Amino acid sequence: MDTFSIALTFVIFFGSLILIFWEKVNRIIVAVCGSVAMLVAGKLLGFYDEELAIEAIDFNTLGLLLGMMILVAMLEPTGFFEYLAVLAARASKGKPVRLFVLLGIVTTVLAMFLDNVTTVVLIAPVTILISEILGVSPLPYLMTEALLSNVGGVATLIGDPPNVLIGSAAGFSFNDFLVYSLPIVFFSWVGAIFLLKQLFKKELSKRPRRSKAVMKLSPAESLNQPVIARRILIVLGAAILLFFVHHLLHVEPSLIALGAAAVSLLWVQPDIQEVLKKVEWSVLVFFGSLFIMVGGLEHSGALEMIVKLFEGASGMHPVLFGVLVIWIVAALSAVVDNVPITIALIPVIEGLGNAGMDIAPLWWALAFGAGFGGSGTIIGSSANIIVATLSEKTRTPITSAIWIKRGLPVMIVTCAIASILYVLAYPLF
């Protein structure tokens, strides 16, 4: 093992992470440059090459993300998301607490199966509309949607990019997530919504000035393309059913997602350029670049060193170690993107497994930490950034200080609930 290679790969990887955190240079540009630097260093020093880099990319993750992105890109213009938000508004009859819970449920359920960012991007504008019509501040609703989408995404294999990564690396099935993650997420979610209701007590107790106006919102008219929406939802439903049994069929989730995308493309025959424009290629490039960087860390022997460091800590009680992983990963995810953290920690956990540690519970600890940690700060998750950016164009902008007061408690409470349940359920993992 060459110390110089190890040091160099460390510098490239952590230098990139710092640049991503610093936010002066776009994170995707940083990742592309970092991965190229890693590859050049590897070629010069002889520990890494193009073939190994391609091997390092987890195409299962990329395929699953791409498939779901295409489905969502097609579902977006149909008005289905607005339709659900309008239904929630009508069902609330203009009562703030009821509206708060209903919008929270809609966002969570969508975030469990679809991309959080898309969910929030489409629900948040309608939320601003509903609250303006009612004459109340949109702030509590917007923040709650972002926070609950972070929490809800942890529940399923396809809910959140870190879960896709963890599922793919650990070989967890869709059902594994429903059995091990969903119950813990459920209790954390309940904790989060009760806490948020308390934190926004003042805003939510204000009586709306025109509560009857929401009853004049027409859900049918917000659903612009009902036929297309129905077709995509049928395909999406079938895909979710297949996710339940994918491990029995020996089919990777990526094939199901890409298959669903293919079937709905054929059934709907949309303008393919428009659909592909909406796919977030930058995210896929970001993932690919991070995989290549972490592959460099692995082949230079740097990861082995980190694993040895952790082994020192493995004298620690395994349950305590797991809880510690939840909180450390959560704290990191609150300030940096949780994707690079997850991609970097996956080989570390695999290394600990090779060293003889029982790592099944650690995967779940990583999932909870990466998912719940995003709630902690305004930049913790993409959903947070989106509602904050949208709110800047309204009369009640969400500031970093507001987020610390209302979002950080949610992160702490969800992590605490997850930790308690993790300890109680440890023997079952």
Q: Cβ 393 to other proteins, closest distance in Å?
A: 6
If we measure between CA atoms, which residue out of 321, 346, 368, 362 comes closest to residue 183?
A: 368
The phi and psi torsions of 27 (rounded to 5 degrees) equal -65, -30
Q: What token pair was written down for 245? A: 């049994």
User: Taking CB under 8 A as the rule, does residue 120 contact other proteins?
Assistant: no
Q: Cβ 262 to other proteins, closest distance in Å?
A: 29
Residues 124 and 82: beta-carbon distance below 8 Å:
no
Size of the site for other proteins (CB under 8 A): 30
Among residues 101, 195, 213, 425, the one that binds other proteins under rule CB under 8 A: 213
User: Taking CB under 8 A as the rule, does residue 133 contact other proteins?
Assistant: yes
C-alpha 369 chain-centroid distance: 11
Binding characters for other proteins, 77-96, by CB under 8 A (x = yes): --x--x---x----------
Among residues 15, 101, 135, 318, the one that binds other proteins under rule CB under 8 A: 135
User: Taking CB under 8 A as the rule, does residue 207 contact other proteins?
Assistant: no
Among residues 216, 269, 271, 315, the one that binds other proteins under rule CB under 8 A: 216
Distance CA 274, CA 285 (A): 19
Locus of tokens 């339940």: 244
Distance CA 396, CA 413 (A): 26
User: Taking CB under 8 A as the rule, does residue 106 contact other proteins?
Assistant: no
Q: How many CB atoms lie within 10 A of CB 313?
A: 11
Q: Given the rule CB under 8 A, which of 216-224, 240-248, 251-259, 351-359 is the region that contacts other proteins?
A: 216-224
CA dihedral 371→23→279→370, nearest 10 degrees, is -10
Q: Which is nearer to other proteins, 35 or 131 (CB)?
A: 131
Q: Which is nearer to other proteins, 130 or 334 (CB)?
A: 130
The DSSP call for residue 407 is T
If we measure between CA atoms, which residue out of 425, 317, 316 comes closest to residue 368?
A: 425
Among residues 173, 225, 314, 394, the one that binds other proteins under rule CB under 8 A: 394
User: Taking CB under 8 A as the rule, does residue 224 contact other proteins?
Assistant: yes
Q: What is the DSSP string of 52-121?
A: HHHHHS-HHHHHHHHHHHHHHHHHGGGTHHHHHHHHHHHHHTT-HHHHHHHHHHHHHHHHHHS-HHHHHH
Enumerate residues 295-314 that contact other proteins by CB under 8 A. none
Q: How many CB atoms lie within 10 A of CB 118?
A: 24
User: Taking CB under 8 A as the rule, does residue 341 contact other proteins?
Assistant: no
Q: Which is nearer to other proteins, 26 or 224 (CB)?
A: 224
End-to-end CA, the chain = 35
Among residues 217, 275, 383, 417, the one that binds other proteins under rule CB under 8 A: 217
Q: Cβ 226 to other proteins, closest distance in Å?
A: 13
Q: Given the rule CB under 8 A, which of 62-70, 99-107, 208-216, 295-303 is the region that contacts other proteins?
A: 208-216
* Binding stretches for other proteins (CB under 8 A): 79, 82, 86, 124-126, 128-129, 132-135, 208-210, 212-214, 216-222, 224, 390, 393-395
